[in-house]
Structure 1
Amino acid sequence: MSATPTPRVTVRLTVAQAVVRFLSAQFSERDGERQQFFGGVFGIFGHGNVAGVGQALLEAELEADAGDGWTPPARVPYMTGRNEQAMVHAAVGYARQKDRLQTLAVTASVGPGSTNMLTGAALATINRLPVLLLASDIFATRVGSPVLQELEQDYGYDVSVNDAFRPLSRFFDRVWRPEQLPAALLGAMRVLTDPAQTGAATIALPQDVQAEAFDWPAELFRERTWRIARPVPEAVAIAEAAALIRAARTPLVVAGGGVTYSRATAELAAFVEATGIPVGQSQAGKGTLPYDHPLCLGAIGSTGTTAANEIAAEADVVIGIGTRYSDFTTASRTAFQNPGVRFVNINVASLDTVKHAGLPVQADAREALVALTQALSGWSVPDAYRERSARLNREWDAVVESFYRSGKGEETGLLAQAEVLGAIDEVAEARDVVVCAAGSLPGDLHCMWRTRDPKGYHVEYGYSCMGYEIPGGMGVRMAAPDRDVFITVGDGSYLMMPTELVTAVQEDVKVIVVLLQNHGFASIGALSESLGSQRFGTRYRKRSGSGRLDGDRLPVDLAANAESLGVRVLRAQTRKELVAALQDAKASTESTLVHVETDLYSEAPDGGGWWDVPVSEVSHLESTRAARATYEQKKAGQRPLL
């Protein structure tokens, strides 16, 4: 006689209700530390999701029981955003501050609501930071097609605007039927918790399917703990890397974001102190060593220090740890000029281990550093090389100090950008976080900011997205409520996305926004001038009688704008006033914006790096012809690194 089968336990929920229940039961774990994976859901509702995901989030907030007695293992709070792109930025800022061990989900309505998240998806994927996007979609049944905001294509009726997420996401699925949801959710979690594959995970949810009920297997909603792997390096790869390094005379480490995400900063310090190898830092890798460590050469590449770029030009072995070698890091492949330079590439992503024909070591940064330190036991660079690194570090810091306290503001009546950063540096504590993304500020911060804590520097420079600063900074503060967050933003980037100041007030998330008003695009203006384009279109001006945008300044008051959005506003003109305003903002419990007029033409110290931006090959403008000649001279220094 056969045994009686155990009855299958199911619970009847809509697709949207099942999604929300699933999210509350997901956890991540690394090194024995377990945490809720989704810290919340950002959303803006429209006809695509208001009765689906919106209704499900309402039930979760009210803790409505579906009749099966299920209790959520963790609460996933809902937060209203003001811009769909900004909500994704906030989630990315949160995930980065949490070292990719936690993130937020983002839901948007059909059509423009969802496509507004495309830029955020690209940013998350390029920076390899996990975020779950719940993009509402057209009707699966097609009974009323074409519906409001539906894109019609004559070659196929199963295409929607959400297909644009496919090349921007590390995972994409569309749930046409309820039965497809479990695979979609588990597939998204697989990618979100994979250090080598993570990025945006997009699940497109047709609006009718969101509201459709289904009998779900109860095991879909059990607590799941996703272990974040630490891949161990192959012994042969470590042995080969150690042999290459032992033969080096002028080795250099390039530390990237992977060191921080792996929480391997202590292991990096132990490695370089044992071997004497100095460290240059990418944008994402800044903070992997404190700025005053004698083996820290600071920023490397296009916006690098003279210290890092001088050593990079001579390096015979470059040990890249957790870096993807962007063009800014390699100064568009002009930084490493030693004819025999070799690369050792330590990374969890195979894509990055083979760049520059390097020796691949596919592994977690912490595990690889421990193994490599052991393999190099007893070996060190000559003392003179250590001493040179320490001297270059001190010399660059003296340059930074001279720019921080240049006194240019007293001479011109407008503070130089570097003076503003110096004032923030004076007020900020070691564990506070400086946030930025676009314009000239990221370059100035990269080469000058004195980072004291591994999580004290947060510049989004994979996508360098204007508008990221305020929502991204808000996400940082949500992830680290015990740290003050200084958001540095120029007027151009501020105008892109100031609306999340309202969300910061709503959620009582304190941020300190330092708004540098220079009436134009400082970074692109300087770049335009250097490329012979005469700062065309980079200043905020009225149209003059000549028909050109070269008239009077625009009569805008961004401080008044910020005040209207609910934050405290302080105005400063001199350095003394700025320091006082920053101290006031830090002491306050409210979000505060500090407005300061700055010099559009102020300069940062030149670290000797170059960035490849092509110049017109032919022109009747003398400025462009001269820039082209300079470009060709710099271009000749590029190396294939093969």
Structure 2
Amino acid sequence: METIRLTMAQAIVRFLNNQYIVFDGKEQKFIKGFFTIFGHGNVLGLGQALEQDRGDLEVHQGRNEQGMVHTAIGYAKQKHRRQIYACTSSIGPGAANMVTGAATATANRIPVLLFPGDTYACRQPDPVLQQVEQFHDLTLTTNDAYKAVSKYFDRIYRPEQIMFSLINAMRVLTDPAETGAVTIAIPQDVQGESYDYPISFFNKRIHRIERRIPTEGMINDAFNIIKNKKKPFIICGGGVRYSEAGDALKEFAERFNIPFGETQAGKSTVTWDYPLNMGGIGTTGNLASNVLAKEADLIIGVGTRYTDFTTASKWLFQNPEVEFLNINVASFDACKLDGVKVVADAKTSLEILTIRLQKEKYKSAYTNEIRDIKDKWNNEVNRLFNVKYEDKFIPEIRGHLDDKLEEYKDIQQSSLTQTRVLGVLDDILDDSSIIVGASGSLPGDLQRVWRPKEPDTYHMEYGYSCMGYEVNASLGVKLAQPEREVYAMVGDGSYMMLHSELVTSIQEGAKINILLFDNMEFGCINNLQMSNGMRSFGTEMRHRNDKTGLLDGKLIKIDFAMNAASYGCKTYTVRTEEDLVSAINDAKKQDVSTLIDIKVLPKTMTDGYESFWRVGNAEVAEKESIINATEELKKRIDEARRY
């Protein structure tokens, strides 16, 4: 057997350079490159290997370990999981920082490959710098935290072990049903240890991502449940997008006159103006989708995980005759809500079902309901897009802060409402632009009102709703589609949580645009506490009050434009509609990353529309308003008893 002597780290790099995937007959390289933050736990091992011979791999310098993983997730998601980045960190805090990124990837079923450094396998220098010692178990390290958030985990104690580990890593990363974060912990001494590896281990490997074909029995089950239903409703999940099944979904829906709603991951698989696309569904869904879903006698979930936001905590589906048909590559998801299971590829399944139902001349019983409810919702969106501060007495806009709006207006020197800003952006952003979001009140507004005009232009991480994803993932999206403008829509709270890779975008010349909605609070959580009987507590950006001892003093004023300018961004501060239009038009002309600091009023987001979300209310409290909210919650829970 012909061999080559390499360090374990060098073997990793050479192996990754030769991994390819084939999907629908198209071959491409699977590993695009590495995001790195070097420390003593990886710089002389994996760092040396990348410096010596990185092959075709692109190496990017990260600024925060969590941030660079978010960038890798954004890239893989925008590439429909067909190409990915690997990430490496040092041991200790660097490795711990990547854990949140791993959880974000796994929750969203997005492939990322992580190589955290680890403590010495030989244990001779123990405790090494940044090592956490557990007296009862010396095998535990920081990296054991990855086991809860990775789809595959391994720790390499001998250099030859990396061969089997990498093959298994590719197995998981390229399996649509199993994919997520793959973590291979690499002790810093073993990274530099050598072994005579078989040359054949580094041969070109092609991993086929096959479309799983449904069995005849599955199709029969699906046909039998559909044929007797009068008002089915489809949920378009992220699996439709990754399967590239948008056209198949439209064909299926149109032939049988079946409306569909979108999850956060599924939104923009089909453009907003398609007549049967009712838009966002669930807790942050809109009136059209939620009304039709409540009345449906069959829910056809295609590529959805049925999160609590999609199902409105299992409350949404109110028809006593409702049943569920689930088309999903993952059997775990296909069996949810006790549905009829089609464990197969979304595109293939829809195409086969279309042929079968056509033969029987199936048609839903909908008449004008679909058009009427969509028209009603479009009128409501137009209203929301034009709500201004001067429009008094709008309860969902004015909310609980009527007495404080003037204070915010004075400190912000702005009277912009969040929905009006979104209306302006919807009008002036290029149709091909990609918007990126993840947390706060913006995902709810965007799922409800944003109107994607081209496919794959809505990029939302809401499986983990990870604050700090937006800016960093936008860099990944830009690397995936450099020809498009990319806009991170982010609140002030999430921006302050993490925006490290904004600097990397400057370094790489990969222009991204940050649309920062500054409402001086954690808006959606402030809404949550106050709508459930609490007062505002710890969710507004305020100084401590010497009299009360609480954080209810004066508002904290922050110049986010100045912050981003210090990194080298082109920046703008927006307080009027004219400012906003001017800033967007000028930002389009820039070659460098931009940040637009948009001062908006709190409580000017959307809410309601036949939605519900189960939360953990207090059953004992001094305030009557909290007890009342808890009693109302219990009624909704009783209506949502599903397994």
TM over 0.5: yes
Instruction: Give 3-state SS (helix, strand or coil) of 1:116's partner.
Output: helix
- C-alpha contact (below 8 Å) 1:131/1:200 kept by paired residues: yes
Q: Distance in 2 between matches of 1:43 and 1:159?
A: 24
Superposed, 1:422-501 pairs within 5 Å as 422-501=423-502
- C-alpha contact (below 8 Å) 2:118/2:187 kept by paired residues: yes
Q: 2:80 aligns with which of 87, 99, 102?
A: 99
Q: 1:54 aligns with which of 47, 51, 57?
A: 47
How much does 1:379 deviate? 5.5
Alignment match, 1:16: 9
Question: Bigger shift: 324-333 or 603-612?
Answer: 603-612
Q: Tell whether 2:552 aligns with 1:553.
A: no
Q: Tell whether 2:138 aligns with 1:130.
A: no
Alignment match, 2:152: 171
How much does 1:346 deviate? 0.3
Seen in structure 2, the aligned counterparts of structure 1 residues 409 and 94 have a Cα distance that, compared at 3 Å, is farther
How much does 1:430 deviate? 2.3
Q: Tell whether 2:100 aligns with 1:119.
A: yes
Alignment match, 1:68: none
Superposition CA RMSD, Å? 1.4
Alignment match, 1:400: 381
Superposed, 1:139-178 pairs within 5 Å as 139-178=120-159
Q: Distance in 2 between matches of 1:303 and 1:337?
A: 17
Alignment match, 2:619: 617
Q: 1:39 aligns with which of 32, 43, 47?
A: 32
Alignment match, 2:318: 337
Q: Distance in 1 between matches of 2:218 and 2:284?
A: 32
- C-alpha contact (below 8 Å) 1:17/1:53 kept by paired residues: yes
**Counterpart residue type for residue 179 of structure 2:** T
Q: 1:585 aligns with which of 566, 587, 597?
A: 587
**Counterpart residue type for residue 351 of structure 2:** V
Q: Tell whether 2:250 aligns with 1:269.
A: yes
Alignment match, 1:596: 598
Q: Distance in 2 between matches of 1:562 and 1:379?
A: 60
- C-alpha contact (below 8 Å) 2:231/2:365 kept by paired residues: no
How much does 1:13 deviate? 1.2
Alignment match, 2:636: 634
Q: Distance in 2 between matches of 1:216 and 1:81?
A: 31
How much does 1:407 deviate? 2.7
Alignment match, 1:66: none
- C-alpha contact (below 8 Å) 1:505/1:566 kept by paired residues: yes
How much does 1:635 deviate? 2.1
Q: Distance in 1 between matches of 2:30 and 2:416?
A: 43
- C-alpha contact (below 8 Å) 1:262/1:366 kept by paired residues: yes
How much does 1:454 deviate? 2.6
How much does 1:639 deviate? 2.6
- C-alpha contact (below 8 Å) 1:272/1:295 kept by paired residues: yes
Deviation string for 1:508-538 (max 9, x for gaps)?
Answer: 1111110111111110011110111212111
Instruction: Give 3-state SS (helix, strand or coil) of 2:310's partner.
Output: coil
Q: Distance in 1 between matches of 2:168 and 2:472?
A: 27
Alignment match, 1:5: none
Q: 1:372 aligns with which of 344, 353, 358?
A: 353
Alignment match, 1:301: 282
How much does 1:553 deviate? 1.3
Q: Tell whether 2:238 aligns with 1:257.
A: yes
- C-alpha contact (below 8 Å) 1:533/1:623 kept by paired residues: yes
Deviation string for 1:340-389 (max 9, x for gaps)?
Answer: 21111000000011111110000000110111101110556768715321
Superposed, 1:374-389 pairs within 5 Å as 374-378=355-359, 385-389=366-370
How much does 1:629 deviate? 2.6
Question: Bigger shift: 377-386 or 631-640?
Answer: 377-386
Q: Distance in 1 between matches of 2:605 and 2:144?
A: 43
Q: Tell whether 2:327 aligns with 1:346.
A: yes
**Counterpart residue type for residue 523 of structure 2:** A
How much does 1:222 deviate? 1.1
How much does 1:595 deviate? 0.8
Deviation string for 1:81-134 (max 9, x for gaps)?
Answer: 100001110000000000001110000001111111000001100100000000
Q: Distance in 2 between matches of 1:242 and 1:580?
A: 54
**TM-score under structure 1 normalisation?**
0.95
How much does 1:409 deviate? 7.0
Identity of aligned residues (%): 45
Deviation string for 1:572-601 (max 9, x for gaps)?
Answer: 111122122112112322211111100112
Instruction: Give 3-state SS (helix, strand or coil) of 2:366's partner.
Output: helix
Seen in structure 2, the aligned counterparts of structure 1 residues 272 and 458 have a Cα distance that, compared at 3 Å, is same
**Counterpart residue type for residue 215 of structure 2:** E
Seen in structure 2, the aligned counterparts of structure 1 residues 218 and 386 have a Cα distance that, compared at 3 Å, is farther
Seen in structure 2, the aligned counterparts of structure 1 residues 419 and 208 have a Cα distance that, compared at 3 Å, is same
Q: 2:21 aligns with which of 25, 28, 49?
A: 28
Q: Distance in 1 between matches of 2:434 and 2:360?
A: 36
Superposed, 1:510-589 pairs within 5 Å as 510-545=511-546, 546-589=548-591
Deviation string for 1:405-446 (max 9, x for gaps)?
Answer: 223379864211111211221122222111110000000000
Q: Distance in 1 between matches of 2:639 and 2:108?
A: 28
Q: Distance in 1 between matches of 2:391 and 2:58?
A: 49
Alignment match, 1:278: 259
How much does 1:223 deviate? 1.1
- C-alpha contact (below 8 Å) 2:67/2:499 kept by paired residues: no
Q: Which runs of 5+ in 1 are unaligned?
A: 1-7, 62-71
Instruction: Give 3-state SS (helix, strand or coil) of 1:57's partner.
Output: helix
Q: Distance in 1 between matches of 2:533 and 2:28?
A: 52
Deviation string for 1:243-293 (max 9, x for gaps)?
Answer: 211100110001100000000001000100111010011111112221111
- C-alpha contact (below 8 Å) 1:399/1:605 kept by paired residues: no
Q: Distance in 2 between matches of 1:589 and 1:251?
A: 48
Q: Which runs of 5+ in 2 are unaligned?
A: 393-408
- C-alpha contact (below 8 Å) 1:410/1:574 kept by paired residues: no
Q: Tell whether 2:193 aligns with 1:200.
A: no
Q: Distance in 2 between matches of 1:606 and 1:186?
A: 48
**TM-score under structure 2 normalisation?**
0.95
Alignment match, 1:225: 206
- C-alpha contact (below 8 Å) 1:486/1:513 kept by paired residues: yes
How much does 1:605 deviate? 4.9
- C-alpha contact (below 8 Å) 2:520/2:541 kept by paired residues: yes
How much does 1:79 deviate? 0.4
Deviation string for 1:143-180 (max 9, x for gaps)?
Answer: 11111111222233222111111121001011100110
- C-alpha contact (below 8 Å) 2:256/2:364 kept by paired residues: no
Alignment match, 2:168: 187
- C-alpha contact (below 8 Å) 1:275/1:379 kept by paired residues: no
The number of residue pairs the alignment matches comes to 622
